[in-house]
């Protein structure tokens, strides 16, 4: 409502209901704060540290995507934010709606606390996000408010519609964040961020290309500890779980916990193997050979195109 407050006289007119036409005009000029988000802070100040924002469609996607690299950045004092573009309220086989959204939000807030990053869950229903103008504004505002140097998301070719459209929305913002009169309620970025895609296994229309690979061996244990907080997704299996998957008895639970930890570790070990060539480019043959766990990223064509040196400054590990 800040825009209306700037015009107290018109406000009074509107308050007395004088002129529906005038009201319509004013509505179009008001800052259109997305209803799916609480009032957000203005653009974050620049303190010389990197500012990274990582998007995922559900309360767990940005966490897997950020994971070790987010913790590495955070430990060096850089500012990382993880965003879920939906509230995850159908992401379980047994419960749904508000109670599930609250549970999942609690889980990712705790993951964020452990990784040392900021977390936000946008209140859009799980399974229902679309690449609309209003959602483009929400994503643009999030990137601008964070004053991001680096934006990370998944690629748009993906099995889940929420993943696809979240990626499209981030791509749609990759230029608009610099356009002053798009969403003028949050100042446009002077410098377009570098947009990166996290790795995936999809082959069509083109396979993932690792432009950056990060050794996360030094943070793998606390990272796994943090991710395993998301019991509703990892232990209970999310939307594809079933009764008995996370048993009631202590022995069964312990077995399941060990199994999911092994699987998760295996995922990051698989990245180290798949993207060994990129690790060699970043760390040299000697060190790259010894890396057990890694994450990899591809530079998106739509944001600022970083030089090799700039990429190394953005991943100063
Ligand atoms: Zn997801």
Q: How confident is the model at residue 43 (pLDDT cuts 50, 70, 90)?
A: confident
CB 125 within 8 A of CB 89: yes
What distance in angstroms lies between residue 160's CA and the mean position of ligand 1's atoms? Answer: 7
C-alpha 80 to ligand 1 mean position (Å)? 20
Buried b / exposed e across 126-149, counting CB within 10 Å, b at 16+? bbebebeeebbbbbbbbbbbbbbb
What does the block give as tokens for 145?
A: 């408010």
CA torsion through residues 271, 276, 277, 282, sign: positive
Predicted local distance difference test score (pLDDT) of residue 2: 41
> Which domains, and CATH codes, for the chain?
51-214+297-314 (3.40.50.10320)
pTM for the predicted model, two decimal places:
0.89
User: What tens digit of pLDDT does each residue of 51-98 get?
Assistant: 999 999 999 999 999 989 999 999 999 999 999 999 999 999 999 999
Q: How far is the CA of 163 from the centre of ligand 1 (A)?
A: 6
Which residues are 84's β-sheet partners? 56, 121
Q: 244: CA distance to ligand 1 center in Å?
A: 23
Position 98 scores a pLDDT of 98
- The Cα 111–Cα 227 span in angstroms is 6
CA atoms within 13 A on the CB side of 248: 1
Q: How far is the CA of 60 from the centre of ligand 1 (A)?
A: 7
More confident residue, 20 or 229: 229
Q: Residue 120 has what pLDDT?
A: 98
pLDDT computed for residue 19 by the predictor = 41
Neighbours of ion ligand 1 (CB under 5 A): 57-58, 61
């Amino acid at each position: 409502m800040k825009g209306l407050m700037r015009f107290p006289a018109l406000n009074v007119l509107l308050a007395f209901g004088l002129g529906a036409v005038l009201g319509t005009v004013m509505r179009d000029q008001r800052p259109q704060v997305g209803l799916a988000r609480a009032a957000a802070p203005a653009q974050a100040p620049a303190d010389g540290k990197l500012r990274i924002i990582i998007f995922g469609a559900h309360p767990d996607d940005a966490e897997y995507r950020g994971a070790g690299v987010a913790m590495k950045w955070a430990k060096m004092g850089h500012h990382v934010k993880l965003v879920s573009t939906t509230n995850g309220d159908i992401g379980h086989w047994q419960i749904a709606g508000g109670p599930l959204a609250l549970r999942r939000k609690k889980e990712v807030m705790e993951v964020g606390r452990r990784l040392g990053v900021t977390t936000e869950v946008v209140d859009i229903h799980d399974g229902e996000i679309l690449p609309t103008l209003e959602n483009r504004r929400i994503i643009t505002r999030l990137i601008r408010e964070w004053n991001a140097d680096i934006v990370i998301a998944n690629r748009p070719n993906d099995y889940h519609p929420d993943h696809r459209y979240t990626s499209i929305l981030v791509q749609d913002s990759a230029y608009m964040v610099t356009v002053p009169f798009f969403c003028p309620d949050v100042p446009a970025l002077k410098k377009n961020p570098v947009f990166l895609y996290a790795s995936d296994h999809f082959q069509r229309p083109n396979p993932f290309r690792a432009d950056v690979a990060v050794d996360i061996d030094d943070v793998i244990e606390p990272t796994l500890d943090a991710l395993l907080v998301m019991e509703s997704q990892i232990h209970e299996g999310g939307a594809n779980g079933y009764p008995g998957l996370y048993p009631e008895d202590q022995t069964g639970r312990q077995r399941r916990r060990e199994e999911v930890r092994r699987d998760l570790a295996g995922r990051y070990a698989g990245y180290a193997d798949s993207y060994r060539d990129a690790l060699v480019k970043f760390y040299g043959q000697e060190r790259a050979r010894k890396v057990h766990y890694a994450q990899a990223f591809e530079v998106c064509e739509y944001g600022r195109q970083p030089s090799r040196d700039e990429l190394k400054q953005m991943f100063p590990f």
